[in-house]
Structure 1
Amino acid sequence: MVPVAAATDAAAASCARHTTGACKANSSHPRGVTAKCKDGSWSRSAHFRGTCSGHRGVKYWYR
């Protein structure tokens, strides 16, 4: 997981179609991140299964 403070190294991206919550197109997030967890941490997981499992699940998926 990437600390929330790392969000300053943001890259624009779109939310994946299967995301939950109110994710906006072109929202900022750290480079290389694939998901934002419900506890506010970031994930670089290459697979859907188990992503953010210790962080209350996935809030947003990024492409």
Structure 2
Amino acid sequence: MKLHTATFTLDTEEGTAPYVDIKPHLRQIVKASGIHTGIFALFSPHTTFAIFFGEFAHVYTTQGGE
């Protein structure tokens, strides 16, 4: 089984709830891994975060508003 580990950093503004599109970061990680099938696990140590996808994509602006 092949394993690949990578990291990336996001800078956000204090006091806001930004919604950041991380797909470009994730696509680059997958491409660099050379892995074509499997499981992608995402971990964010020491932070509070949530991942929205699909049905929530149209609800929020990048500044966190509706």
TM tier relative to shorter chain: under 0.3
- TM-score, with length taken from structure 1: 0.20
- TM-score, with length taken from structure 2: 0.20
Larger Cα-atom Rg: 2
- Normalized per residue, the structure richer in strand is 1
